Chains A and B, each alone.
Chain A
Amino acid sequence: GEKVEQHESTLSVREGDSAVINCTYTDTASSYFPWYKQEAGKSLHFVIDIRSNVDRKQSQRLIVLLDKKAKRFSLHITATQPEDSAIYFCAASANSGTYQRFGTGTKLQVVP
């Protein structure tokens, strides 16, 4: 079946450095790629998304890149802060699909 794969299960960066989390997808019809953040003991909340009509989107310190040819997208967090520490989930869905398919999550630890 169709999959979304998240390549880094854990990632540790120093405060102030950048963090990059990579995902790939298999469904060529995928057109919407959201990212969600899950802080310790809490549920998921949306952080940023990108649609297939663009290849880059930025919201403050978050940048999402999309490479449709490689079926790959990534979340870049610049100037990381301790509050960025969390599990990040990528997801993908097709316009004609009914639900978002999630990656397995990347636990990001920002070390002071």
Chain B
Amino acid sequence: NAGVIQTPRHKVTGKGQEATLWCEPISGHSAVFWYRQTIVQGLEFLTYFRNQAPIDDSGMPKERFSAQMPNQSHSTLKIQSTQPQDSAVYLCASSLGTGSSAETLYFGSGTRLTVL
């Protein structure tokens, strides 16, 4: 099992450009989470899918961030009009998806986004 796969590992964008981040969860896992990691804020929850359906996007900055899960094997996080404050490591995690948050998260290696 390859674990959670995130691509690209690094992405550099200019201010105002769009960035799309990809995540492939562990096969058989039905829950996918996106978190953002910065030195200042630590790990911030962004959004969560279960069985491909969006369940909770309460952590998403509403105006420029969007996430989708078009099939069970991948999810995308899109940031429009990127700003320097969006610079962070974006982490995707998957879990079995029993419907409870009380289960182990398996994290990908992350995408380091740098907005110049």
Interface residues of A (CB under 8 A from B): 31-32, 34, 36, 42-46, 49, 51, 89, 93-95, 97-105
Contacts and interface: CB of A to CB of B under 8 A. Distances in A.
B69 interface: no
A93 B42 contact: no
Contacts of B101: 32, 93-95, 97-100
A100 B42 CA distance: 13
A98 B102 contact: no
Interface residues of B, number: 21
Interface of B: 33, 35, 42-43, 45, 48, 55-56, 59, 91, 93, 100-102, 104-110
A102 B93 CA distance: 13
A103 B107 contact: no
B42 A42 contact: no
Contacts of B100: 32, 95
26 contacts: A31-B102, A32-B101, A32-B102, A36-B107, A43-B107, A43-B109, A44-B91, A44-B93, A44-B105, A46-B105, A46-B106, A49-B104, A51-B102, A89-B42, A93-B101, A94-B101, A95-B102, A98-B101, A99-B33, A99-B56, A99-B59, A100-B101, A101-B45, A102-B43, A104-B42, A105-B43
A44 B107 CA distance: 6
Nearest to A33: B102
Most buried by A among B45, B56, B101: B101
